[in-house]
Structure 1
Amino acid sequence: MNNRTSAPLAPTAPASAVRALAGPGGHLMPARELSALLGVGPADWARFGAHWDALTLDTHMADGGTYRFRRYGQFDVDAATGTLTRLPHAPYLQESTINPLNGGVERHFDPLTDEFAADPLLRALLLAMAAVFTAVDDTTDWNVKLHPYRITAGDDQTGQPAPEGRHRDGVTFITSLMINRVNVAGGESAVFTDSGEELLTTTLTDPGDLLLGDDRRTLHSVTPLHPLDATAPAHRDVLVVAFTAR
């Protein structure tokens, strides 16, 4: 993939998403709505989801867990011109005040594969998200951190999509995109106000279900995962994308 690409602007931001993020601070966009916005279908989601088979074990879990597989990368996005610039690979760092479990240290993850970074669905997704957030925040320049995750579950280990509990990520907007669920129960996502009021609760199930939140004003959590059939592989694949205004 070229480090810098541009194309026509993203579709107009859905008014319902803009209202919800400007108001309470959380919004669920169902897969059918996101797919229509991006102009994609089941074959596109299946192709995109295949990238999750290339994720590698996260060896930085302070709880000792071996249930999380991931990669990591960054883009700069200019919503005004529709320009995406892939940034050089670098360690990931969160302050311990933001992430008391794994924060305070540089975490070195394998980079996004070139095939993942060049996937047209990813490009359309980032521009569509940027259009929504720009409509809310009146900012066109974004740093975007991408975290594709696979959380596994089994008899020997509970899968923990959010092992730090109810939290925020220290960014401007945070999103969680369902890619696939295989043989798992649990994984209920919730968004809360700072005072603890529950804004919404949902279980992302279909490829393309998208949960968006204003990370400055809300916290979020995800319940643990358990296998439906303990004799078969079980995992939950999501893409977490964090937008920070430049």
Structure 2
Amino acid sequence: MTLNKWHYQLLALPELPAEILEEFSTLPVDQYNEGKFRYRRFSQYKIRYSEGDGWQPELLPHRPFCQSTEFNGVTGGLLREFEPLQIDPTLVIRAGADEVPLDHGVEWQVDVHQWRVISNDDTRGVSVPEGPHQDGHTYSLIAVVDRHNIGGGETQLMPMDSDEPFLGVKLQPGQAVVIDDQKMRHYATDIVAPRGEEGHRDLFLLAYNTWPERRYGEEYEQSVLAGA
């Protein structure tokens, strides 16, 4: 398959093993959100295509995560330290890479974020603190692994020049969307648990860039800090 004329595609994830599903409950808190509503791990990979074996991920040495202020007005321009993934995200990486499909003739760099967003009486379940935005990657994958005891959490895609979504969908567990991140902005509404209870939304967010345009390494980090 490939992206549709609106530059996105909905897809079903492959069945994920229990150890991946269970690991979301162990995620450390994201220290860069004031409300302590998000828990997070982060790792980066290089992938190359092998005939007969498909996309083969190589885990890169762990580094901080950083974005330019052009794409993130809340925490852009910072080197953010996150603990690395404890699980193997190969199934999710391949799902997005095959759906686009990525060019087999080049190597790609992939950011993999593993998130849990929570909501309770004391915690507002903010899905996207920076509001509608783009991240400037070549392609992005938003994959929902679990929704528990919540409303909200609608994934929205919108044009570059408007906040009016052309797609609004509450992705269910096992559902994902791949987007051409350079042609649109995206957002997700806050999640809300019933009064007196707690709920959560578990997801992976993956970003794909060709290796020459990678968002990885000291040179990239210095360019981000210089522009902050």
TM > 0.5 fold call? yes
- Are positions 1:90 and 2:63 aligned together? yes
Inter-partner Cα distance in structure 2 for 1:56 and 1:172: 28
What residue number does 1:52 align with?
24
Corresponding pairs, count: 207
The alignment's C-alpha RMSD in Å is: 1.8
Match of 1:28 in 2: 10
CA-CA distance at 1:73 after TM superposition: 0.2
Please tell me whether residue 108 in structure 1 is matched to residue 74 in structure 2. Answer: no
Q: Using the alignment, how far apart are the partners of 1:126 and 1:83 within structure 2? A: 9
Offset at 1:80?
A: 4.3
| Deviation (angstroms), 1:195 | 2.6
| 1:94, distance to aligned residue in structure 2 (A) | 0.3
Partner of 1:173: 139
Check whether the contact 1:77–1:141 (CA below 8 A) recurs between aligned residues.
Answer: yes
C-alpha distance in 2 between matches for 1:72 and 1:24: 29
Counterpart position of 2:153: 187
Distance change (3 Å), C-alpha of 1:138 and 1:111? closer
CA contact (8 A) 1:139 1:245 kept: no
Deviations 1:54-82 (A, max 9, x none): 21011112xx2210100000111113453
Q: Verify: 1:132 aligned to 2:104, yes or no.
A: no
TM-score relative to the length of structure 2: 0.84
**Partner deviation per Cα, 1:193-245 (whole Å, 9 max, x = no partner):** 2132533110012x2100111101110000011112x3232111111111112
Taking a change above 3 Å as real, the CA distance of residues 139 and 54 of structure 1, as seen in their structure-2 partners, is farther
Superposition misfits of 4+ residues, deviation over 4 angstroms? none
Structure 1: how far apart are the matches of 2:56 and 2:92?
A: 13
Give the superposition deviation at 1:160.
Answer: 0.7
Deviation for aligned residue 1:45: 4.9
Give the whole-Å Cα distance in 1 for the aligned partners of 2:137 and 2:49: 17
Contact 1:26 1:214 in 2 (8 A): yes
Scaled by the length of structure 1, the TM-score of the pair is 0.78
Q: Are the counterparts in 2 of residues 79 and 127 from structure 1 also a CA contact under 8 Å?
A: no
- Identity over aligned pairs, percent: 28
